[in-house]
């Protein structure tokens, strides 16, 4: 029964085990990851310290004035309301203007950016600008041969300097002196406040077109909103002071160019308007004389004004007639109400806008008496003298109110009749206006056309003259260039993180690729995923190179591992006696002899009699490894009848109860000897005298000798060596298990190191050994 049958694993345990195996596969190379991370971080630090150039973000905002919104005067577009001459400012066009190369070339030229200044650094030269400059070049002429080349200024404190050309020629000069060279004409002046004491400055000449193209691509121009005419300008540059100067100068040059264009357009427009005004003035003068003659003959002044007056007065009279009519209706309503309620004692309704004070007073007195009569009736009989007195007063007031109403209504009717008469006169005058206008319309038509054109041209001429005199800018700088307080790149955190990831990633990739390309057994998982056989233990790497590592006094980890293998064998062979086990492998060099000797020693330490047979008749090693003298061996016994079993079995001097049987001379037919009846007799005799028989055989992956022993063997121990056995050779033991060609195969893994993973066997032995060593040191 194998370990999988004894201890079945569920899917979660298998998955957890696989994850641990994969993690452990990389953790064992922790030193590579540590070294890779340190190298990546170190390179990044060195790069940031000496090579990286910080980049700064500078920005500004510019308001492009919109002629339509009235943010500026017509801006040399006096005739823009004519369809053929309309020229409204478009924000997208202004963005393209700001990004034009010609505009940027002017900026570069005015800021003298064709000359860059550097000072020497430890590894790279550092550019300086502005206040850092100890001296400046004023370039009058620069030949194309100087583009891309550099000159060096060696400054001295006595206002002199030495100029070293790019060809190595050195000349001495003074500040302010014009210098003529084959590649250009320029003057070098000391910068204000600059320290020129023994300084070395490198001046590099650049092509103006290339510089302009570079900054055109670097500058970002975009509107701040979809419907806004405000533009945001930004620039990223290693020198924030230079970036600010470029943005400010760009907005200044843009405004200057717009003013020049506006003035040019305004001058042309003004000339055109003067010529047209001269011609229209002559035509308008002739038409006005015709109008004057017609009005003089017909006795007219301003027909439109007169008609408006007539209409206004007639409308006023009609309004008054309407008001009087309303008041007459109100009076008639009150009169009818009083007549209808004769003999009844009720309140008189409101006068509804009648402004006669007498009438208002009578009605008010009448209503007060009515209220007093009602209050009196609550306590007095209607036949009382007091009530009768109130009734008489109310009757008299009713008569007076009716009389007053008739008088007011009569006066309003007289006034209304007079208004109708006067309104009729104005209506008659209004009827004559269309006839007079029709007769004058033909004469005024030409005058109106000429006059409108004259007024329009005169207005536009004044607007153009004001625009030309005002020289208003096409844009307004909202925010001058600012920012650049902190570098935006390189991002140190990001670079360090990327360097760390790269430093870890390269070892990770290397381990992954090496794992893919490695065709040798690296971990226990490489075995278990192919072979369904019990693994009874692992043997640690033998650092000291000793053959016999299992002794009575040895408590090293490797000795403990052999004891663990011994315990697993005891468990597998529970109930059996006189056990015969065979030790084999896929190929030579996997440690069969080393394992056989130490397994025998481990079993012998328990008081069992153990014999070790060196049955590798092709390449025997047991005697050599144990430094035994040459003696009779298995071959001698099998080919000679004079050699007995007692002659070939020799006790081991290092371990009591451990006996060795050498292989003897190398025979020409080893497999035939193994299959002989005498070999069967040998095994039978040894089983009667020993508790354990260990047979060291040749590798089954190279010769078939071991298969001939199947009938004698109780257990087969198959050695697999880490970093030595090929993964393809695991198919040998896979087929052995599948076809049962060897008895009860079990696997032991040899040469285990910490890098091969923390499995149970190696971890137990390793930990136990460390504790033992510490305890031993403490006792000492």
Question: How confident is the model at residue 668, as a pLDDT?
Answer: 86
Question: How confident is the model at residue 774, as a pLDDT?
Answer: 43
Do 21 and 70 lie in a common domain? Answer: no
**CA dihedral of residues 506, 511, 514, 519 (deg, nearest 10):** -170
pLDDT at residue 70 tops 70 = no
Question: How confident is the model at residue 429, as a pLDDT?
Answer: 57
Do 310 and 448 lie in a common domain? Answer: yes
Q: Is residue 482 part of a domain?
A: no
* 592-604 helix and 557-572 helix, angle to the nearest 10 degrees: 80
Question: How confident is the model at residue 491, as a pLDDT?
Answer: 84
Do 10 and 91 lie in a common domain? Answer: no
Q: 307-353, pLDDT tens digit by residue?
A: 666 677 767 766 766 776 777 777 767 777 777 666 556 666 655 56
Question: How confident is the model at residue 317, as a pLDDT?
Answer: 66
Q: 173-199, pLDDT tens digit by residue?
A: 888 888 888 888 989 888 765 555 667
Do 421 and 559 lie in a common domain? Answer: no
pLDDT at residue 771 tops 50 = no
Query: Comparing 17 with 438, which gets the higher pLDDT?
Result: 438
* Model confidence band, residue 472 (pLDDT cutoffs 50, 70, 90): low
Give me the phi and psi of 154, to 5 degrees please: -100, 100
At residue 701, the 3 state secondary structure works out as: coil
Query: Comparing 695 with 426, which gets the higher pLDDT?
Result: 695
DSSP annotation string for 415-474: HHHHHHHHHHHHHHHHHHHHHHHHHHHHHHHHHHHHHHHHHHHHHHHHHHHHHHHH---S
Do 686 and 749 lie in a common domain? Answer: yes
Query: Which of these three, 517, 552, 582, is where a domain ends?
Result: 517
Q: Is residue 273 part of a domain?
A: no
Give percent above pLDDT 70 in the chain.
80
Query: Comparing 115 with 466, which gets the higher pLDDT?
Result: 115
Structural domain boundaries, residue 310:
303-472
Using omega within 30 degrees of 0 as the cis cutoff, is the peptide bond preceding 552 cis?
no
Q: How far apart are the first and last CA of the chain?
A: 46
Mean pLDDT (whole number) for 360-372: 77
Question: How confident is the model at residue 428, as a pLDDT?
Answer: 64
Q: Is residue 777 part of a domain?
A: no
pLDDT at residue 17 tops 60 = no
Least confident of 354-368, 436-450, 519-533: 436-450
At residue 14, the 3 state secondary structure works out as: helix
Do 619 and 686 lie in a common domain? Answer: yes
Query: Comparing 393 with 301, which gets the higher pLDDT?
Result: 393
With beta carbons less than 8 A apart as the criterion, state whether 749 and 562 touch. Answer: no
Query: Comparing 511 with 662, which gets the higher pLDDT?
Result: 662
In 10 A of CB 766, how many CB atoms? 18
Question: How confident is the model at residue 305, as a pLDDT?
Answer: 67
Mean pLDDT (whole number) for 22-50: 85
CATH number of domain containing 672: 3.40.50.300
Instruction: Beginning with the edge strand found earlier in the chain, give each strand of the sheet holding 126-128 in spatial order.
Output: 126-128, 115-119, 199-205, 150-155, 160-164, 170-174
Do 668 and 726 lie in a common domain? Answer: yes
Least confident of 274-288, 346-360, 384-398, 556-570: 346-360
Q: 585-608, pLDDT tens digit by residue?
A: 999 889 999 999 999 999 999 999
Closest CA to 249 of 128, 104, 102: 104
Do 552 and 637 lie in a common domain? Answer: yes
Q: Is residue 752 part of a domain?
A: yes
Do 715 and 666 lie in a common domain? Answer: yes
Q: 207-255, pLDDT tens digit by residue?
A: 999 999 999 999 999 998 888 889 999 999 998 999 999 999 998 888 8
Rounded CA gap, 749 and 558, in Å? 12
Q: Is residue 582 part of a domain?
A: yes
Least confident of 288-297, 365-374, 534-543, 757-766: 757-766
Q: Is residue 66 part of a domain?
A: yes
Query: Comparing 458 with 74, which gets the higher pLDDT?
Result: 458
Question: How confident is the model at residue 502, as a pLDDT?
Answer: 92
Question: How confident is the model at residue 333, as a pLDDT?
Answer: 72
* Model confidence band, residue 71 (pLDDT cutoffs 50, 70, 90): very low
pTM exceeds 0.75, yes or no: no
* 240-298 helix and 385-470 helix, angle to the nearest 10 degrees: 120
Query: Comparing 276 with 103, which gets the higher pLDDT?
Result: 103
Rounded CA gap, 554 and 572, in Å? 25
Least confident of 15-29, 155-169, 563-577, 706-720: 15-29
Query: Which of these three, 412, 443, 472, is where a domain ends?
Result: 472
Q: Is residue 393 part of a domain?
A: yes
* Mean residue pLDDT across the chain: 80
Mean pLDDT (whole number) for 731-759: 83
pLDDT at residue 621 tops 80 = yes
* Model confidence band, residue 15 (pLDDT cutoffs 50, 70, 90): low
* Model confidence band, residue 561 (pLDDT cutoffs 50, 70, 90): very high
Do 602 and 726 lie in a common domain? Answer: yes
Least confident of 12-26, 401-415, 477-491, 525-539: 12-26
- Total number of domains constituting the chain: 4
Q: 74-92, pLDDT tens digit by residue?
A: 444 455 554 334 444 578 8
Closest CA to 599 of 644, 562, 544, 637: 562
Rounded CA gap, 338 and 340, in Å? 5
Closest CA to 522 of 292, 726, 349: 726
Do 496 and 574 lie in a common domain? Answer: no
Using H for helix, E for strand and C for coil, what is the string for 505-551? HHHHHHHHHHHHHCCECCCHHHHHCCCCCEEEEEEECCCCCCCCCCC
With beta carbons less than 8 A apart as the criterion, state whether 195 and 26 touch. Answer: no
Query: Comparing 589 with 358, which gets the higher pLDDT?
Result: 589
Do 546 and 513 lie in a common domain? Answer: no
Question: How confident is the model at residue 581, as a pLDDT?
Answer: 94
Mean pLDDT (whole number) for 618-643: 87
DSSP annotation string for 233-277: EEEEES-HHHHHHHHHHHHHHHHHHHHHHHHHHHHHHHHHHHHHH
Q: Is residue 656 part of a domain?
A: yes
Question: How confident is the model at residue 28, as a pLDDT?
Answer: 76
With beta carbons less than 8 A apart as the criterion, state whether 129 and 113 touch. Answer: no
Mean pLDDT (whole number) for 706-721: 90
């Amino acid at each position: 029964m194998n370990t999988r049958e004894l201890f079945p694993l569920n899917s979660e345990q298998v998955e957890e085990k696989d994850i641990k195996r994969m993690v452990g596969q990389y953790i064992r190379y922790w030193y590579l990851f540590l070294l890779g991370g340190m190298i990546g971080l170190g390179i990044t630090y060195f790069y940031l310290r000496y090579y990286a150039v910080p980049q700064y973000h500078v920005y500004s905002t510019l308001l492009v004035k919109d002629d339509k919104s009235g943010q500026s005067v017509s801006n040399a577009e006096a005739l823009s309301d004519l369809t053929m001459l309309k020229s409204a400012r478009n924000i997208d066009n202004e963005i393209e203007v700001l990004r034009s190369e010609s505009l940027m070339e002017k900026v570069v030229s005015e800021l003298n950016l064709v000359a860059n200044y550097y000072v020497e650094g430890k590894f790279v030269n550092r550019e300086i600008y502005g206040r850092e400059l100890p001296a400046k070049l004023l370039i009058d002429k620069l030949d194309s041969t100087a583009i891309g080349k550099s000159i060096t200024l060696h400054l001295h404190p006595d206002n002199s300097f030495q100029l070293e050309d790019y060809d190595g020629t050195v000349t001495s000069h003074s500040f302010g002196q014009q210098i003529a060279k084959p590649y250009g004409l320029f003057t070098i002046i000391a910068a204000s406040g600059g320290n020129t004491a023994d300084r070395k400055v490198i001046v590099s000449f650049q092509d103006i077109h290339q510089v302009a193209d570079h900054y055109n691509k670097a500058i970002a121009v975009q509107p701040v909103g979809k419907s806004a005419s405000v533009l945001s300008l930004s620039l990223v540059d290693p020198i924030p002071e230079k970036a600010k100067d470029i943005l400010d100068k760009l907005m200044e040059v843009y405004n200057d160019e717009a003013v020049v264009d506006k003035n040019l357009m305004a001058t042309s427009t003004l000339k055109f308007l003067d010529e047209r005004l001269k011609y229209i003035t002559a035509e308008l003068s002739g038409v006005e004389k015709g109008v004057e003659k017609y009005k003089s003959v017909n006795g007219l002044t301003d027909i439109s004004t007169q008609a408006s007056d007539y209409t206004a007065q007639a409308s006023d009279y009609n309004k008054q007639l309407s008001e009087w009519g309303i008041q007459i209706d109100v009076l008639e309503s009150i009169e009818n109400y009083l007549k209808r309620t004769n003999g009844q004692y009720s309140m008189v309704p409101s006068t509804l806008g009648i402004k006669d004070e007498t009438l208002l007073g009578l009605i008010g007195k009448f209503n007060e008496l009515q209220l007093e009569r009602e209050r009196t009736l609550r306590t007095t009989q209607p036949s009382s003298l007091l009530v009768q007195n109130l009734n008489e007063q109310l009757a008299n007031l009713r008569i007076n109110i009716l009389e007053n109403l008739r008088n007011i209504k009569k006066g309003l009717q007289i006034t209304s009749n007079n208004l109708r008469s006067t309104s009729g006169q104005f209506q008659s005058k209004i009827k004559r206006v269309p006839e007079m206008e029709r007769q004058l319309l033909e004469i005024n038509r030409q005058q109106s056309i000429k006059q409108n054109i004259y007024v329009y041209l005169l207005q536009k001429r004044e607007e153009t003259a004001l625009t030309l005199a005002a020289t208003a800018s096409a844009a307004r700088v909202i925010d001058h260039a600012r920012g650049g307080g902190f570098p935006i790149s390189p991002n140190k955190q990001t670079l360090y993180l990327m360097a760390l990831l790269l430093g870890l990633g390269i070892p990770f990739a290397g381990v992954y690729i090496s794992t893919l390309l490695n065709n040798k057994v690296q971990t226990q998982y490489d075995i278990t995923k192919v072979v369904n056989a019990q693994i009874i233990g692992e043997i640690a790497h033998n650092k000291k190179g000793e053959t016999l590592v299992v002794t009575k006094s040895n408590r090293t980890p490797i000795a403990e591992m052999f004891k663990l293998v011994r315990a697993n064998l005891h468990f597998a062979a529970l109930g059996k006696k006189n056990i015969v086990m065979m030790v084999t492998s896929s190929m030579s060099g996997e440690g069969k002899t080393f394992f056989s000797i130490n397994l025998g020693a481990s079993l012998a330490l328990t008081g069992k009699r153990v014999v070790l047979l060196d049955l590798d008749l092709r390449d025997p090693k047991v005697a050599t490894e144990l430094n035994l003298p040459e003696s009779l061996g298995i071959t001698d016994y099998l080919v000679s009848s004079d050699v007995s079993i007692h002659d070939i079995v020799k006790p081991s001097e290092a371990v009591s109860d451990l006996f060795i049987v050498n292989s003897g001379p190398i025979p020409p037919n080893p497999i035939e000897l193994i299959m002989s009846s005498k070999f069967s007799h040998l095994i039978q005799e040894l089983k009667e005298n020993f508790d354990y028989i260990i047979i060291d055989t040749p590798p089954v992956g190279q010769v078939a000798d071991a298969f001939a022993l199947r009938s004698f063997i109780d257990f087969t121990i198959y050695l697999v060596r880490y970093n030595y056995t090929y993964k393809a050779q695991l198919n040998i033991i896979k087929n052995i298990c599948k076809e049962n060609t060897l008895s009860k195969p079990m696997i032991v893994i040899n040469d285990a190191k910490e890098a091969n993973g923390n499995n149970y066997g190696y971890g137990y032995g390793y930990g136990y050994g460390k504790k033992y060593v510490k305890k031993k040191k403490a006792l000492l």
